[in-house]
Amino acid sequence: MARRRFLALSTLCLVAAGLSGATAQGLFGAPPANNPAGTAPGDSGAPANPPTPAPPADSAPAAPIQPGSPTAVVRPFYNQVNLEVDPSQRGHFIDPAKTVLDKSDALRKSGQGECLDPNMALDNADYDKDEIDKSLKTIEAINGDQAKVVVAFVVAGNPHRLEWKLKKVGGDWKITDLLSVTGEWALSQYQCE
């Protein structure tokens, strides 16, 4: 139990420190193996008191999502496909993400096609709600009026990691950007003109 708390706290500290890329890919992976308790380095004997195996991290109950939290803002995008490009959801976004989404809407309305990839919240993976619901994990880090929500899930055996950046505006969390750690793209970098 103490090890799980330490790992959760360590992960939260990494996210709060703003680490991304390859570092963020390891956030939801299996924890590293430790020396068994009671065994000194170089000791070839079995420990006097073997440790009780900890249950897998997957069996830990998920913490409830707090209303109004950054995770509460992000979570609906995993319940409905393409919600992030729905104009009725634009109130959840501010610049730079809002500008890209507005330009994408204008391009679509002009009949010139689509600018954004499908299923951005799903890292452009096929939508399989059951598979996503079984594997979806989130962790949030808040630093003043800035927040990040790292989302991890598996589709068709392929792991995906995304980072949602948020800012508190008028007491509400608004999405400023969406980055794919796995696919190495960011919503704010799209040119929809």
- Which CATH number goes with the domain that contains 164? 3.10.450.50
**Residue 141 and residue 12 in contact, taking contact as beta carbons nearer than 8 Å:** yes
pLDDT reported for residue 113: 83
pLDDT reported for residue 112: 87
Q: How many domains does the chain have?
A: 1
In a domain, 38, yes or no: no
| Residue 7 confidence (pLDDT) above 80 | no
pLDDT reported for residue 24: 38
In a domain, 178, yes or no: yes
CA dist., res. 112 & res. 108, Å (int): 6
In a domain, 56, yes or no: no
| The pair of three-digit structure tokens given for residue 178, joined into one six-digit string | 């969406």
pLDDT reported for residue 124: 87
pLDDT digits (tens, 9 = 90+) for 86-135: 999 999 999 999 999 999 999 989 988 888 887 899 998 888 888 889 99
Give which of 15, 46, 8 is closest to 146, Cα–Cα: 15
**Residue 102 and residue 90 in contact, taking contact as beta carbons nearer than 8 Å:** yes
In a domain, 105, yes or no: yes
CA triplet 133, 80, 189: central angle to 5 degrees?
100
Average pLDDT over residues 154-178: 96
pLDDT reported for residue 11: 38
Look up the domain containing 86 and give its range.
2-31+65-189
Query: Higher-confidence residue: 108 or 137?
Result: 137
In a domain, 60, yes or no: no
CA dist., res. 176 & res. 55, Å (int): 37
CA dist., res. 151 & res. 77, Å (int): 11
**Residue 162 and residue 178 in contact, taking contact as beta carbons nearer than 8 Å:** yes
In a domain, 54, yes or no: no
| Residue 183 confidence (pLDDT) above 70 | yes
In a domain, 42, yes or no: no
CA dist., res. 148 & res. 15, Å (int): 7
SS3 readout for 75-118: HHHHCCCCHHHCHHHHHHECCCHHHHHHHHHHHHHCCCCCCCCC
Please state the φ and ψ torsions of residue 173, each to the nearest 5 degrees. -80, 130
pLDDT digits (tens, 9 = 90+) for 32-90: 333 334 334 444 444 444 444 444 444 455 678 899 999 999 999 998 888 998 999 99
In a domain, 53, yes or no: no
pLDDT reported for residue 77: 93
